[in-house]
Amino acid sequence: MSPEVTSGRGRFITLEGGEGVGKSTNLGFVVDFLRGQGIEVVQTREPGGTPRAEAIREQLLAHHQEPLDSDAELLLVFAARAQHLARRIVPALERGAWVVSDRFTDATFAYQGGGRGIDVQRIAQLEKFVQRGLTPDLTLLLDMPLDAAEQRLAGRLDRKGETRDRFEQEQRDFFERVRDAYLARAADDPQRMAIIDASGSLDDVQARITQQLHMRMTQWA
């Protein structure tokens, strides 16, 4: 968090993990939990979160005859993030609201870093440039074995009649690198990142999330 928005500001919580681990499902749960405590919460997602950033998201996810260069992909992700921060996240935190986002910069280290193989130092430079020290207060990393997550994702796509976007169509080794990169970041920053076992029933997963939230909120009080 940058010093100028530290005083009286809200908290910034992100949910991370690979495809199909249950981020979107549990985001609503986290938001309802916080609202139940009387907290003003802004629910958002990346890439996206504002109309212009959502337009960049469409570019990122769409299939196109012309392959997307991985550096261009990285810059688009950060362009969307700059807009999201300026227009939505920072104003919310400054007025004291809490922000809960489905993905943020850990996803860039996992997908563009781990998945695409971009040097993490280059990503870290952009992180500094765009975020100017603002980082989440808490990141819940939903983690589970790839096969089970793929089954969940396939079930969701079938039910909704959706096709796979540009990331969802990647091969297994890509998602193995994404998962490894997420776990490595969590190991490096255990204060901020909590690994949540995302396997098992939704009740079990949400009990683990509730436990983390209670613990962190006690520390922050």
Ligand X SMILES: Cc1cn([C@H]2C[C@H](O)[C@@H](COP(=O)(O)OP(=O)(O)O)O2)c(=O)[nH]c1=O
Examine residue 107 and tell whether it contacts ligand X (CB under 6 A): yes
Min separation Cβ 1 and ligand ADP, Å: 26
Which residues belong to the annotated binding site for ATP? 17-24
Examine residue 163 and tell whether it contacts ligand ADP (CB under 6 A): no
Stretch touching ligand X by CB under 6 A, among 18-26, 64-72, 126-134, 142-150: 18-26
Q: What is the 3-state secondary structure (H, E, C) of the chain?
A: CCHHHCCCCCCEEEEECCCCCCHHHHHHHHHHHHHHCCCCEEEEECCCCCHHHHHHHHHHHCCCCCCCCHHHHHHHHHHHHHHHHHHHHHHHHHCCCEEEEECCHHHHHHHHHHHCCCCHHHHHHHHHHHHCCCCCCEEEEEECCHHHHHHHHHHHHHHHCCCCCCCCCCCHHHHHHHHHHHHHHHHHCCCCEEEEECCCCHHHHHHHHHHHHHHHHHHHC
Return the one option of ligand ADP, ligand X, none that residue 156 interacts with (CB less than 5 to 8 A, by type).
ligand ADP
Stretch touching ligand ADP by CB under 6 A, among 5-13, 66-74, 175-183, 199-207: 199-207
Return the one option of ligand ADP, ligand X, none that residue 49 interacts with (CB less than 5 to 8 A, by type).
none
Pick from 1, 76, 97, 167 the residue near ligand X by CB under 6 A. Answer: 167
Return residues touching ligand ADP (CB under 6 A): 17, 19-25, 152-153, 155-156, 201-202, 205
Using CB under 6 A as the criterion, which residues of the chain lie in contact with ligand X when the complex forms?
19, 23-24, 46-47, 77, 102-103, 107-108, 111-112, 167-168
